[in-house]
Amino acid sequence: MVFKFHTLLLDDVSRALIVTNYMSRMNAITYLKNLLGVYPIVEDHCESIIEAIESIARGEKRDDLKLSSSALIGHVKSRKASWLHLWDFIEMDETAKAEHMQKRQKIEEREEELRKRDQEKKMEAQRLEKPNTGKKNKRSRAKGRQNSLRTLP
């Protein structure tokens, strides 16, 4: 019964976030901020909410909606430790539970792969920046040594 209510709530909030109407989006964001202590709590629902809000944060031109959605993403993600797996929230038979666990594992593997790619991109960007600064440091150190040799008696 509670899961059904959470699913209906997810559907309604998702619809309000998808439309481009200002008041619908702002009301959905405000509503979610007020529910954060109790909703979303199911892992799948949390990820759906985050995905919908991230699309607003990326594509929204209105600064107040962009700021509110970005803040809400942080609040929802900060509660990740308290998210529940679907099989912990509702009773499932072993087959459905195993299927859902496999689905969750694939999602987590994909997320890990994306994290690794992002980290590699950051490291590559840092690596590309370092050679330029390294040359300057070598030149300045060499120049400093030359100057110190000139001052010796």
Reported as a single tens digit per residue, the pLDDT across 56-87 is 999 999 999 999 999 999 999 999 999 999 98
Residue 61 sits at φ, ψ, to 5 deg, of -90, -25
Four-point Cα dihedral 13, 41, 70, 118, nearest 10: -120
99 lies in the same domain as 85: no
Helix axes 2-18, 22-35, angle to 10 degrees: 150
Supply the pLDDT for residue 141: 58
| 91, 106, 126 - which closes a domain | 91
Q: Is residue 132's pLDDT more than 80?
A: no
Residue range 114-127, pLDDT digits in tens: 889 999 999 999 98
Q: Is residue 142's pLDDT more than 60?
A: no
| Sequence-distant (≥ 6) Cβ neighbours of residue 84 within 8 angstroms | 41, 42, 43
Tell me how crowded residue 28 is: count the other CB atoms within 10 A of its CB: 24
Q: Where are the beta strands (DSSP E) in 49-137?
A: none
Q: Count of domains in the chain?
A: 2
51 lies in the same domain as 100: no
Of the pLDDT bands very low, low, confident and very high (cuts 50, 70, 90), residue 139 is low
Supply the pLDDT for residue 130: 76
Which residues on adjacent β-strands are paired with residue 42? 84
Stronger pLDDT, 37 or 130, i.e. the higher one = 37
User: Which residue type, as a one-letter code, is found at position 151?
Assistant: T
Mean pLDDT score of the chain: 87
% of the chain with per-residue pLDDT over 70? 85
| Sequence-distant (≥ 6) Cβ neighbours of residue 146 within 8 angstroms | none
Supply the pLDDT for residue 5: 94
Mean pLDDT computed over 88-101:
90
User: Are 65 and 56 spatial neighbours (Cβ–Cβ below 8 Å)?
Assistant: yes
27 lies in the same domain as 81: yes
Q: Is residue 46's pLDDT more than 90?
A: yes
| 91, 106, 132 - which closes a domain | 91
If 0-12 CB within 10 Å is exposed, 13-18 middle and 19+ buried, where does residue 70 land?
middle
Give the residue numbers spanning the domain of 17.
1-91
Of the pLDDT bands very low, low, confident and very high (cuts 50, 70, 90), residue 150 is low
Terminal alpha carbon distance of the chain: 90
Residue 140 sits at φ, ψ, to 5 deg, of -70, -35
Give the C-alpha separation, 134 to 51, whole Å: 41
Which residue carries 């919908």 as its tokens?
Answer: 52
Mean pLDDT computed over 98-109:
91
